């Protein structure tokens, strides 16, 4: 019988639901070398955690992550908490000999991410694996786009345009959450969704950003604290006597940069893009062609092949659901679309296969550290009026 990987997951928010779906479904669709079992769900509130465990399919629930990582019957720790606890939990889990999957962004600061990358390297020497949850790498469309670029189908990469647009903060009456507090989230749109744009640009092209110039803005500086109001919060404004909390992160981030190869990139991450719900769009222009991906049309890519006769040129929309596309053969027949949740199942599959195959999975904590350095450089640049800031681990 194949060995099982016993998983404990820390965190019970939105990402907890998404990762649970990944762990639950992966062994039912993929033929895994070491099928995961959903053993312990960890959260601070015992009642809510027990209810989430029951709903999402975890065998048991617990309140103290330290007790859980000390257990011999746990092999993998999945961290889906806010960023302020990533470093502490991940380092402790790696030192306890657990394989660790950690949500993005890896940490709240470069200093924390450096410690995590060091712990991951030391653990890897003992056969303990770690990976960052940049889940959009696990979509057939993005993986196929990367393949086309790596195969030279667009020639030399010259420019990348990456934007991640959401609008859930447009309403000044939307309540405070941990995502708006620097001490909990590290940064705002920049780290939450800008980190995906950075990772996707680098994943697709295989290049690294070497310097950036950026601008951050917070448009709404105070927001009502949920549940504190005597009146309701509705339709674009807060009413009643809601207690207000300070927003200490950016609502929007703009930056541009140069990659190590000399290629140029423009980036935008905002939660104020009215009408845009979850729009991660990345377009890569090369010397022979171009590739574009849009998360709101996540089963497709656009491919422009500049080598075909001029009369036939134009962007082609490819539906990335053929069995030969990455991961697809485990799912549905061609043309039967995949969704947001499949990325989490593909990610669970890849992580357990790396563990079982004794290989370092990607993206590594070192990759997460690099993204963290870019985030910090954008912030520094914004404080210095857009001055160029170099990224320590990538030289031109
Ligand atoms: C933020 O709204 C968020 O949930 C991110 O935290 C996720 O990483 C992204 O997948 C969707 O948007």
| Final residue belonging to a domain, choices 82, 106, 136 | 136
Among 101, 136, 171, the domain boundary falls at 136
Total domains in the chain come to: 2
| 226 and 110 both lie in a single domain | no
Q: What is the dihedral of CA 116, 117, 123, 127, to 10 degrees?
A: 130
The CA distances from residue 128 to 98, 101, 121, 133, in Å, are 7, 11, 9, 17
Hey, which residues does 305 pair with through a beta bridge? 289
Q: Which atom of ligand 1 is nearest to the CA of 168?
A: 2
Q: How far apart are CA 69 and CA 290, in angstroms?
A: 46
Task: Give bridge partners of residue 38 from the DSSP assignment.
Answer: 7
Are 170 and 301 in a shared domain? yes
Give 166 Cα–ligand 1 centroid separation in angstroms.
9
Cα–ligand 1 centroid distance for 289 (angstroms): 30
CATH number at residue 53: 3.40.50.720
The answer to whether residue 355 sits within a structural domain is no
Task: Tell whether ligand 1 has an atom less than 6 A from the beta carbon of residue 199.
Answer: no
Q: Are both 150 and 50 inside the same structural domain?
A: no
Report whether the peptide linkage leading into residue 363 is cis, meaning its omega lies within 30 degrees of zero: yes
Sign of CA dihedral 260, 108, 194, 14: positive
Protein residue with least CA distance to atom 6, ligand 1: 192
Q: Does 240 lie in the same domain as 152?
A: yes
- What backbone torsions phi and psi does residue 174 show, to the nearest 5 degrees? -65, 135
Q: 104, 119, 136: which is the final residue of a domain? A: 136
| 192 C-beta closer than 6 A to ligand 1 | yes
Asked if residue 146 and residue 109 are part of one domain, the reply reads: no
Together in a domain, 16 and 161: no
For residue 160, report the distance from its CA to the centre of ligand 1, in Å. 21
Residue by residue, pLDDT tens for the chain (396 residues) are 568 999 999 999 999 999 999 999 999 999 999 999 999 999 999 999 999 999 999 999 999 999 999 999 999 999 999 999 999 999 999 999 999 999 999 999 999 999 999 999 999 999 999 999 999 999 999 999 999 999 999 999 999 999 999 999 999 999 999 999 999 999 999 999 999 999 999 999 999 999 999 999 999 999 999 887 543 333 344 446 789 999 999 999 999 999 999 999 999 999 999 999 999 999 999 999 999 999 999 999 999 999 999 999 999 999 999 999 999 999 999 999 999 999 999 999 999 999 999 999 999 999 999 999 999 999 999 999 999 999 988 877
Asked if residue 104 and residue 157 are part of one domain, the reply reads no
Measure 163 CA to ligand 1 centroid, in angstroms.
14
Inside any domain, residue 15: yes
* Binding site membership of 283 for ligand 1 (Cβ less than 6 Å): no
Residue corresponding to tokens 């509130």:
45
CA proximity to 8, closest of 91, 98, 83 = 98
Q: How far is the CA of 126 from the centre of ligand 1 (A)?
A: 33
281 within some domain = yes
**Are 267 and 188 members of one domain?**
yes
Print the domain residue range for 385.
137-339+371-389
Q: Find the 319 Cα to ligand 1 centroid distance in Å.
A: 24
**Which atom in ligand 1 lies closest to the alpha carbon of residue 340?**
10
Q: Which ligand 1 atom is nearest residue 136's CA?
A: 10
């Amino acid at each position: 019988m194949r060995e099982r990987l016993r998983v404990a997951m820390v965190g019970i928010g939105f990402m907890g639901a998404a990762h649970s779906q990944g762990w639950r479904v992966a062994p039912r669709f993929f033929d895994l070398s070491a099928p995961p079992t959903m053993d312990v769900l960890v959260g601070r509130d015992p009642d809510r955690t027990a209810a989430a465990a029951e709903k999402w399919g975890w065998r048991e629930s617990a309140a103290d992550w330290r007790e859980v990582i000390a257990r011999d019957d746990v092999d993998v720790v999945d961290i889906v908490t806010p960023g302020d606890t990533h470093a502490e939990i991940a380092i402790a889990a790696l030192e306890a000999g657990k394989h660790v999957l950690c949500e993005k962004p890896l940490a709240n600061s470069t200093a924390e991410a450096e410690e995590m990358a060091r712990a991951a390297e030391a653990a890897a020497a003992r056969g303990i694996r770690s990976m960052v949850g940049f889940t959009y790498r696990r979509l057939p469309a993005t993986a196929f786009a990367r393949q086309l670029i790596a195969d030279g189908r667009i020639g030399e990469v010259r420019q990348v345009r990456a934007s991640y647009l959401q609008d859930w903060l447009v309403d000044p009456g939307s309540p405070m959450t941990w995502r708006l507090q620097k001490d909990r989230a590290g940064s705002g749109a920049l780290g939450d969704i800008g980190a995906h744009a950075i990772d996707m640009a680098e994943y697709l092209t295989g290049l690294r950003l070497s310097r950036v110039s950026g601008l951050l803005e917070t448009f709404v500086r105070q927001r009502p604290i949920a549940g504190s109001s005597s009146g309701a919060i509705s339709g674009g404004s807060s009413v009643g006597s809601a207690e207000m909390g300070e927003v200490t992160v950016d609502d929007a981030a703009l930056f541009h940069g140069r990659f190590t190869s000399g290629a140029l990139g423009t980036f935008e991450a905002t939660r104020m893009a009215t009408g845009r719900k979850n729009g991660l769009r990345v377009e890569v222009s090369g010397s022979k062609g171009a590739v574009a991906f849009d998360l709101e049309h996540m089963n497709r890519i656009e491919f422009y092949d500049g080598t075909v006769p001029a009369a036939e040129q134009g962007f082609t929309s490819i539906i990335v659901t053929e069995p030969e596309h990455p991961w697809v053969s485990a799912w549905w027949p061609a043309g039967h679309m995949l969704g947001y949740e499949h990325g989490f199942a593909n990610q669970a599959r890849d992580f357990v296969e790396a563990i079982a195959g004794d290989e370092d999975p990607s993206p590594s904590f070192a990759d997460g550290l690099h993204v963290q350095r870019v985030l910090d450089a954008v912030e520094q640049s914004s404080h210095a009026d857009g001055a160029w800031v170099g990224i320590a681990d990538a030289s031109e």
